[in-house]
Structure 1
Amino acid sequence: MRQIILDTETTGLDPNQGHRIIEFAGLEMEGRKLTGRSLHLYIHPERDIDPDAERVHGISLASLEGKPRFAEVAQQLVDFIDGAELIIHNAPFDVGFMNAEFKRLGMPPVAKVAGGVIDTLAMARDNFPGKRNSLDALCDRFEIDRSNRTYHGALIDCELLSEVYLWMTRGQDSLLMDAGLAENDNSASGMRMAFERKPLAVLQPSADELAEHQAYLDLLDKSVKGSCLWRSIENPPPAEPAA
């Protein structure tokens, strides 16, 4: 399935208070590999940017002078995400802003355009309850290099999120990821694996080791004042004859 790793930066925290999207980034992924196709837009918000938000993403209103308004890029954005499964960290935030922008233009919401949404923050909370699950924390947990991330820019966050998502979903691809398909596999499912099981190495105990083992069992017999469980496993009682 075609997937889009998606992130936005905004003028503030709440679209219901008139805050707007100022940066959009999306990276296309198919078959768990980035295709190289992407969409990265800076957007003039037609309003001020909250100082707290600017400190997070480092985007000033002055730097957006001459950039297109959302109405000018809305169809380009819709065409990019059309039918794709969106992978977003804290999806309600980004989807809420996108829906607010689309609503202003009389366009359908994300749910009508995209093929679904995966919230990696919700996934992380399920997998790591009680732990920090910010994008930074997950990068640290999976040892993903984020040394180039000075600000929370949408494009760099998408690149990091793509790696985080692949780490969190490694078990969902079956063993095909690491083992590969069997050569000349004509099975109906095409999923039969070509595993070669090597014989297990069996180490025989030495005479001294056997003597130590017996001495230890003798101590166990004394502690239970009878025959320890291991004795009955080594020397099971004979089966009773059938009636």
Structure 2
Amino acid sequence: MPRLFTSILLTTLFFSATSFAADITLTTSDKFSLKGDYYQGKTVKQNSTNHAVLMLHQCNYNRTMYNNIGEQLAQRGIHALSIDFRGFGESVNNIFNVKNLRKLPKEERNKAWSNMSSHWPDDVQLAFDYLTEKVGDQGKVGIIGASCGGSQAITLAEKENISAIGFFSSSQSDKNIARYNKVLATKPTLIIASQDDGRTFTSAGQLFITAKHANSKMISYKGSKHGYPLLDSDKQLAQTIVAWFVNELNN
């Protein structure tokens, strides 16, 4: 699929007193509608709003897991965008819908999942292009991927100039760790995982050992909570993630 920033439809440009999110639709080159929440960075003191964070959800949730983080980033002057992966949340149609996919027999389900997820790198690229339009050529963009979103973060960061990267309860294969080590280990990296979360925690440790930037950080939790439940149980975690990205993007 060619990289084509086909069109952007702002379906809602309404900012309430309690939310900074604007509902947006990104239209892909194959005419699929990706839904997202865009948080416009507020001007803070003398800081320019030319920094942004792309937020990728885990595969048992949707873009709303980043509501609090997106709003906090906007308050700190950083644009933020969370999208529903194709097949999740509001990014669904008759062909791509994870709820329908999960009802299929195993062989059909695996084939349908492979087809659906094969579009994600280009979909994520489209979201990244949207943010770069906001921050300009001199802007900085960070990315955080929860669970399955972490692999998509690596794929994007291999091609684009990502200034900071986060892995949130994101299990990585040995192949992905090697990819990270080859081209991304010098980037500031935030790694979050629970100690009893199996391969997620094991690979988190491997990523952290590989990370070479002085500001790379690993946060570990007792128990087995995965992704969003950590935000729910530790009310300070969202603030910690935001503060880390603010610091790295402003360096």
Query: TM (normalized to structure 1)?
Result: 0.32
Query: TM (normalized to structure 2)?
Result: 0.32
Bigger fraction of residues in strand: 2
